Amino acid sequence: MTATPLADADATIDQIRRVLRIEADALSQMIGDVGAPHVRAVDLLQQVTGRIVISGVGKSGHIGRKIAATFASTGAPAQFVHPTEASHGDLGMIAKGDACIVISNSGETSELADLITYTRRFDIPLIGITRRVGSAVDRQSDVTLLLPDAPEACFIGVAPTTSTTATLAIGDALAVALMHRRGFNREDFQVFHPGGKLGAQLLKVEALMHSGDSVPTLTPDTPMGDALLVMTSKGFGMAGVVEDGVLTGVITDGDLRRNLTTLMDRTAGEVATHAPKTVRSGALVSEALRVMNAAKIGALFVVSEAGHVEGILHLHDCLRAGVA
């Protein structure tokens, strides 16, 4: 191996751009090739009552693991089975009701032979992802999804680069198309992603809001002396004015300052700001945070479609949950 001189920035940039261009061209070719086999593949996957099993060797195996994880995280139970382990007992992980996806760029990966034979023996649907028409994987599969006949992007043309990018892309495409077919939505996604920033952003306001006696509410005729006690004791820096269960206004620290000279002679209904900013129950916490940021407020009442108070959400609740 002969090393090239360091600091040849232009040559490095050229190589990076060349790789990206080759892989992008391959993906563009794939877009034009989408058709009936892809629809049939999604049909088969939609009929699965068990698991989607993905298998491959080497770099194809690494990509297969990621595809399995994508299916699983989008509501389609999936697992990766290594073909060598399959030949030594892990075929027992595959059963009626499952479907298999095998990945082989050449279509002649010998390690896949036992797994492919097993699917044919027990009538388990098989989707092949390969570059070669007429290969063993192509001949044995119920549906073949062909990879583009494009060069690998490495400058010696052998390291799996273009082929693995194309395989990953078709795996993502199948997973997303299946999500669409199954009506998988943001709420479903949150079930499988409860942790981390992503899970936090998909929380609904009901998960974080304060409700019941902790919600500071007043009637329109409440004297402001009593209103101040409620605002102080509840600790949100605001209180809602409620009439017949419906939120009609909100009193904040700003309202107190604007009415300071006559404050103690007035009622909550007279001091309150009417038509306040609110968020509907059922909304995502991220949506509530957007409203708070836009209005420059620290708390928000949660109301039903009819305007009835269901709770209150504070900015600090969002921060603790990792949404903000």
Lowest mean pLDDT among 71-75, 132-136, 264-268: 71-75
Residue whose structure tokens are 């690494």: 62
Residue whose structure tokens are 């001091």: 271
Q: Is the pLDDT of residue 197 over 70?
A: no
**pLDDT band at residue 10, thresholds of 50, 70 and 90?**
confident
**pLDDT band at residue 207, thresholds of 50, 70 and 90?**
confident
Q: Is the pLDDT of residue 134 over 80?
A: yes
Residues 209, 312: Cα–Cα separation, whole Å: 5
Residue whose structure tokens are 């595809």: 67
Residues 107, 252: Cα–Cα separation, whole Å: 69
Q: Is the pLDDT of residue 173 over 70?
A: yes
Q: Is the pLDDT of residue 178 over 90?
A: yes
> pLDDT tens digit string along 38-89?
999 999 999 999 999 999 999 999 999 999 999 998 889 999 999 999 999 9
The per-residue pLDDT for 203 is 77
Share of the chain above pLDDT 90, in %: 64
3-state secondary structure (DSSP) of residue 314: strand
Q: Is the pLDDT of residue 238 over 70?
A: yes
Q: Give this prediction's pTM.
A: 0.65
> pLDDT tens digit string along 300-322?
999 998 889 999 998 888 777 77
Q: DSSP state, 97? A: T
Rg of the Cα atoms in the chain: 30
Q: Is the pLDDT of residue 216 over 60?
A: yes
How would you label 165-174 residue by residue, b for 16+ Cβ within 10 Å and e otherwise? Answer: bbbbbbbebb
Compute the average pLDDT of residues 264-280: 91
Whether residue 279 contacts residue 171, with contact meaning beta carbons closer than 8 Å, is answered with no
Burial label, 301 (beta-carbon count in 10 A; 0-12, 13-18, 19+): buried
Give 103-138 as a 3 state SS string.
Answer: ECCCCCCHHHHHHHHHHHHCCCCEEEEECCCCCHHH
Compute the average pLDDT of residues 26-46: 96
- List, as own/partner pairs, every contact residues 15-24 make where C-beta atoms lie below 8 angstroms and the sequence separation is at least 24, other chains included: 15/155, 18/153, 18/155, 19/153, 19/154, 19/161, 22/150, 22/151, 22/153, 22/161, 22/162, 23/153, 23/161, 23/162, 23/165, 23/166
The region that residue 183 occupies, defined by phi over 0 for left and psi between -120 and 50 for alpha, beta otherwise, is left
**pLDDT band at residue 154, thresholds of 50, 70 and 90?**
confident
The per-residue pLDDT for 17 is 95
